[in-house]
Amino acid sequence: MKSTRTLAATFGLLACTAMPSFATELVGAVQFDENHAFTKALREFERVASECSGGSLTFDLHLNSELGLEKDYFENMAQGIAIDYGVVSPSHMSTFSQKAPLMDMPFLFRDIDHWNKVMEQDALAPLAQDVLEQANVRLIGYAGGGTRNLIVNKPITTMQELKDLPIRVMGAPIQTRIFEAIQAAPSVIAYDEVYNAIQTGVIDAAENEAAGIEQMKFYEVGPDIALTRHAITVRPIAFANATFERLTPAEQECVLTAGKAGGKLGRDVESGQDSEKLKAMEDAGLLKTHEFTERGKLLELAGPVKRAYAEELGATDVLDSIEAVK
């Protein structure tokens, strides 16, 4: 009996030792450190997927832009090389999917409650399908929830002060068109060059949510925050479809389930922390917020551009669905 138990224990040990050789390691990337909401969203994705798969999926997440920027992550995932998952701004998907940046369009959401309901009701599904078809990348969850404002090197509170303001915007054409419509002077500059661009006077402003302002220390060069509240961010968790198709059906289900869980946690963290972070930075004397007094005018000017853009993309149905969410 003793030898039987010993033999069973030996086989059990060998089985446990052999398990990692059957595991599939997935490589992820994020531009930020462990404290950022995006990283926390990806860690939750990893946790749920690992537990769901019984450890057959393992993860290697590279932080602090170690593998480049979000645009690089998405291009790699589209090619099925180097990176399997990451958080990517929809604007950085525009090279492949013209419809994707609609998610990131300024003034798309009325408020944080409207934004959350759009995520919960999966009103963005047609856009995700277009990304899959055009880029071979799956959007498996939606993080985000930061309210974006202007980061400026001087106080901006009125349309007159905003007029012709040199400002950095993301690369999608809709970003440029919206900011032109509200009478600023937008230009596309890489995210990691924004700090120096403001510091050296190439631009006077950028736009971001509180987490980005804090992480990149933009307040050092743009200490005046104009509360335009022009966007509530949607930050999809993207997953390379070439990798997805190599997984077993059970592992695929785990990835999809975990993507939703990671996105939900990311939304909860960032939307909850956004105003707190901004207030904490102001209380610490790092920046000063200024209420933009003519936000109604911004909405009025942006409206026709939003509608025209959706029509060009053949996505008026998506815009209508988003606006219809109550």
Q: What is the pLDDT of residues 145-165, one digit of tens each?
A: 989 999 999 999 999 999 999
3-state helix, strand, coil in the chain (%, to 5): 55, 20, 25
- 3 occurs within a structural domain: no
pLDDT at 21: 52
pLDDT in tens, 256-283: 999 999 999 999 998 888 999 999 999 9
pLDDT at 211: 87
- 225 occurs within a structural domain: yes
Structure confidence at residue 90 as a pLDDT band (50, 70, 90): very high
Q: Where are the beta strands (DSSP E) in the chain?
A: 24-29, 57-62, 85-87, 137-152, 166-169, 185-188, 205-208, 224-240, 288-291
Structure confidence at residue 10 as a pLDDT band (50, 70, 90): very low
Mean pLDDT taken over the chain: 91
- 53 occurs within a structural domain: yes
User: What spatial distance separates the first Cα and last Cα of the chain, rounded to whole Å?
Assistant: 68
Cα separation of 188 and 176, whole Å?
8
- 6 occurs within a structural domain: no
Range of the domain at 115: 24-324
**Is the confidence at residue 22, as pLDDT, over 80?**
no
SS3 label, residue 157: coil
Give the residue carrying structure tokens 């994705």: 45
Share of the chain above pLDDT 90, in %: 82
In contact, 293 and 157? CB cutoff 8 Å: yes
**Is the confidence at residue 131, as pLDDT, over 80?**
yes
Q: What is the pTM of this model?
A: 0.79
- 19 occurs within a structural domain: no
- 166 occurs within a structural domain: yes
Instruction: Give the domain CATH number at 215.
Output: 3.40.190.170
In contact, 37 and 266? CB cutoff 8 Å: yes
pLDDT at 190: 93
Cα-to-chain-centroid distance, residue 121 = 18
Structure confidence at residue 104 as a pLDDT band (50, 70, 90): confident
HSE-up (13 A, CA, CB side) for residue 130 = 20
- What's the token pair of residue 80? 């099925």
SS (H, E, C) 32-58: CCCCCHHHHHHHHHHHHHHHHCCCCEE
Count of domains forming the chain: 1
pLDDT in tens, 26-78: 999 999 999 999 999 999 999 999 999 999 999 999 999 999 999 999 999 99
pLDDT in tens, 299-324: 999 999 999 999 998 899 999 999 99
Cα separation of 154 and 167, whole Å?
12
- 16 occurs within a structural domain: no
- 94 occurs within a structural domain: yes
Cα-to-chain-centroid distance, residue 176 = 19
SS3 label, residue 152: strand
Non-local (6+) Cβ contacts of 14 within 8 A are none
**Is the confidence at residue 12, as pLDDT, over 70?**
no
> Residue 137's closest CA among 185, 95, 200, 199?
95
